[in-house]
Structure 1
Amino acid sequence: MITVVKCIKQHSLQIENIDELKDIATRYVAVKNYVYSRYAGINSLLILNNAKKEIRDVWVKAKFAEQWCLPARYWKMALDEAIANIKTEWANIKLRVKSVTLKNENLTEDERSFILYVIKADKLLFSILKHKSIEKTKKIEKLVIREKYIYSLIRRYVRKYKGKVPYSYNKRSFMIDADMYSYKKDKNGLYIEIMGLDRGKRIKVKLKDENIHKGNLRIILNDDTLEIHRPKKVKANKNWSEDKVIGLDKGYKTLIATSEGKFYGEDLNDLLSKETERLSEVNAKRNKYYALHKTYIEEGKTKKAENILKFNLGKKKYNKLKNRHESVTKSYINQELNRFFISDKPSEIVIEDLTFVSWEKKFPKHIKRKLSSWIKGYINERLNYKAELNCVLVTKINPAYTSQICSICSAFGERVGEVFTCANCGKTHADTNAGVNIKNRKNDKEITLYTPYKKVKKILEDRIA
């Protein structure tokens, strides 16, 4: 039986003493941010896999974590979560280094093999990053490389893709394990009792349903309620009966366009545009009040400044409307993706690998305002999740020039909005044209996932010639 992990949510009624939970969340994230600042660097690369002994046990012995005034179980959960995130960041860095290494035409096969080996061996990678001598293993000692150049290249790659030290701004979320909560039921319904800041005391929260969960839970705090998130394994359903490969082009006007000429999520653009316009109008008004607040502060009119913050710059209604829009948008995205998988019944979907494509360069400002940071990742995450849930294989292809060539004759054409124009074949829908090209590239033996875009263009030009 094939299973996938699904997030099960549970909601509470209004909480009277939510301030203590918010205080826990604030201290919890303070622990995480300290761990990020202290252990996300190169110097800590070798201790991440032994964090329990190298970090947690040291903190316990030195009573280091007492500064956050959190029960031990809380700061240990925060530490484990932060270390797991740092490990994920390093895994992403190594993937990026692998990608650019395979695309670098100035490297020999031996040099590529050397770099790919080094990024898998943390001790070798650490030594090179710290300018220390290394002991070459049998697998790499016979490789002929330009040592000084390759070592320098590895350092440049890691420095380029490592980016800033992680930092969490979310002070409304924390994890709890099975010993940090308990469910209690009485004639009024079901409650969850969560470990508080004081020893032996728990915070009692009334829940909307009567489902009892086990294992680690994530607590998400709202203004006066909370959500409980729990990962649960569910059975995957095979929705298709015969092999059917479909190419997908993801867009901002239409959620997805298929290689078969079908469109899903055509109202996404309108949904995002309305919210963008609403927020622009609201923020313009708020900016005037921020300016007025600053003026009152400079003039020493502290009472008026406080009234501006209290009555004109509150976040309760602002966040409520923003969160409502996010919920509606997420619901619409899931609904349209479900409709695609149920209606088209693909056994395999082919999509562009846009993992490392910069959205800053890809889209103009007015589109980037619509494609806010959460929605870009959400669409990709849900598409992959729905595919896994329906036992559908996901194949990623090289995205270079998929929207700039004709799917019929392979000649370069021009894309303007939703119309693609080919000098030989005339006009067609740009998204459908791209979807067909994406599907066709799956079986293209010359253009691999890691073929540099300049080489892709040369291959395409040679085919036309």
Structure 2
Amino acid sequence: MKTTRIAYSHRLNAGKYAALVEQARRLGRVRSEVWQRYASVGGAWLTDRQVRDRWLAEGTHRQFGVLANAWKETVRDAMADITATFEAAKVPARKAIRRHTSDPAERRRLFGLLKADRWAEDPYLSRLMRSRWRRGHNRTRNQIVVRADQHNTRVDSRGRLWLAVPGLVRRQLVRIPLNTIVAPTGTLRLILRGDRVEIHYQIDAATMKTSQRPCGEATIGVDKGYTETLTDSDGDYHGEGLGHLLTTESDRLKERNRHRAKLRSVANTAAQRGNHAKADRIARNNLGAIKRDRQAGCHQARVRTEIFTAVHQVVDKAGVVVAEDLTKTFTGRKSLGRNTNRRLAAWTKGVTARALKNVSERRGSVLVHVNAAYTSQVCHRCGCLGRRAGDRLHCTSCGVVWQADVNAAINVLRRHGDPDITLHTPYLVVKQIVQARADRHRSRLPLPDSSPARRAESESSEALRNER
């Protein structure tokens, strides 16, 4: 398993940065030319080597003014992006095939042609892929791809790490000071943003220290939250600083954007009155994006650290992590205020899902997704639908007030191996099953579709209730 690491330049010379910007601009023309020519049905089956051979035979590469290794790596990277977009177009195409026919033999034939990239042979598949595929144009002008054998690093007498990459002139390297002592390896992707260079590279996740930590042995259900990252079925909270981080940043952005809007209005008014010097001065000194983007990057790094730390704490306890699948959205009936909606818009449940997946794979634990429908509204004790108010769940049947996140985590754990509620059961069907189980619980009837273990548990609890 590979994971991406990012190193940053440190106090890079303005002349060197300008040279890298010019090189990235020329390579952007290469990328645009590849997308313009081959991001279509006609270029779907070409490889990057075939494109390079064509350009060498036609002399197309001479118009860009960059070194051979630079434009060849850019062609390879662009063709990989085009292939990825074609593969993404196959996902809705497969769903359309399932709706188009119910004949197993016909489905097998269409799926086989689609998998083998021979969909142009079938008229239906050809129309389907042409409608799903959106011919794109690439306008990336700030990236440089450097092959693994084209860069080197060295440490100077002051302990600083320098990365040397090829420039526009042969045998003249551009040396970049880095803010780390870990040398980047493999193929590098240089991204130029705000007078700073980001160096993206991949490492083997097995070599990381956190990947060598053993996982636990328990089976634990977790509920993803806003105030804290995760709440497990044992009642423990992990990542309790996430809510404060998100709320503080959301409120800060609200005030900053309000002030920027006022300054933008002043600049627009000055431009309308003919005072372009004032408008340019405001835009240059007060409406820039460099500081804003760096602050956003720092905030995202803090959030990722908080989330990954919380996930590692869960995996320290659990060999099997049962989590709710939040890929499907459920529309709530209750309208929320503007401030609440603004803060929830920054909720990073996608980052939490990726962290659970990555950490589980690296440390050897098992991640199981279950249906999330009504896990936050059902009382785990009696199975009845309760009334949610903030972080509390009021059960209208047994009269108990539960901590909502802990209750949801217990329900998530119980969904693991549920014979009736699977991952893809529609939420309306889940509600019917929950209500039917609650009615049987009130009437003290056994569950007809339960497993033997669940049936024995129900009988033992019934006997204990009769003794009382």
Q: TM-score interval w.r.t. the shorter chain?
A: 0.7 to 0.9
* Number of residue-to-residue matches in the alignment: 429
Comparing 67-76 and 423-432, the one that deviates more:
67-76
Q: CA deviation at 1:14?
A: 0.9
Give the structure 2 partner of residue 198 of structure 1.
Answer: 169
Indicate the residue corresponding to 2:309 in structure 1. 335
Determine the C-alpha separation between the residues in 2 that align with 1:37 and 1:360: 44
Counterpart of 1:408? 381
Q: Secondary structure at the match of 1:347?
A: strand
Give the TM-score, by structure 2 length. 0.77
Q: Aligned pair in 2 of structure 1 residues 382, 367: CA closer, same or farther (>3 Å)?
A: farther
Deviations 1:241-296 (A, max 9, x none): 53x21112112222111122221122212211111111111111111222222233
Range 22-31 or range 249-258, more displaced: 22-31
Match for residue 216 of structure 1? Answer: 187
C-alpha deviation, 1:203, in angstroms: 0.7
Cα separation, partners in 2 of 1:376 and 1:203, compared to 1, 3 Å: farther
State the alpha-carbon separation in 1 of the partners of residues 368 and 423 from structure 2: 10
2:266 to 283, 292, 314: 292
Instruction: Provide the identity percentage.
Output: 28
Contact 2:371/2:422 (<8 A) preserved: yes
1:5 and 2:2 aligned? yes
Alpha-carbon distance change, 339 to 241 in structure 1, aligned in 2, over 3 angstroms? closer
Matched, 1:240 2:210: no
Further displaced range: 93-102 or 118-127: 93-102
Q: Secondary structure at the match of 2:162?
A: strand
Question: How far off its partner does 1:23 sit?
Answer: 3.2
Does 2:414 match 1:419? no
Pair 1:392-2:365 in alignment: yes
- Paired residue secondary structure (2:201): strand
Q: Specify the alignment match of 1:182 in structure 2.
A: 152
Corresponding residue of 2:117: 122
What code does the residue aligned with 1:191 have? W
SS for the counterpart of 1:415 is strand
Residue of 255, 259, 264 corresponding to 2:233: 259
Q: More relative contact order in 1 or in 2 (CA 8 Å, sep 6+)?
A: 1
- Output the amino acid matched with 1:454: L
Rate the CA distance shift 1:441–1:120 in 2: closer, same or farther, 3 A: farther
Please report how far the alpha carbon of residue 311 of structure 1 lies from its aligned counterpart in structure 2 after TM superposition: 2.0
Deviations 1:20-55 (A, max 9, x none): 2233344445554665566556x26842xx422554
Runs (5+) with no aligned partner, structure 2: 440-468
Supply the distance in 2 between the matched residues of 1:18 and 1:362 (Cα, whole angstroms): 51
Question: Which AA in structure 2 matches 1:76?
Answer: K
- Opposite residue 244 of structure 2, the aligned amino acid is D
Counterparts in 2 of 1:75 and 1:420: CA distance versus 1, 3 Å: farther
1:190-223 per-position Cα deviation (integer Å, ceiling 9, x unaligned):
4221111233322112334554443212334454
Alpha-carbon contact 1:45-1:126 (below 8 Å) kept? no
- Matching residue of 2:48: 52
Residue identity in the other structure for 1:289: L
Tell me the SS of whatever aligns to 1:122.
coil
Q: Distance in 1 between matches of 2:418 and 2:105?
A: 26
Rg comparison, structure with higher value? 2
Q: Label 1:176 to 1:441 Cα distance change in 2 as closer, same or farther (>3 A).
A: same
Distance 2:426 2:7 in 1: 47
Please name the residue that 2:460 is paired with: none
d(CA) in 1 for partners of 2:87, 2:406 = 34
- Amino acid in structure 2 at the alignment position of 1:339: Q
- Asked if residue 75 in structure 1 is aligned to residue 47 in structure 2, the reply is no
State the match for 2:293 in structure 1.
319
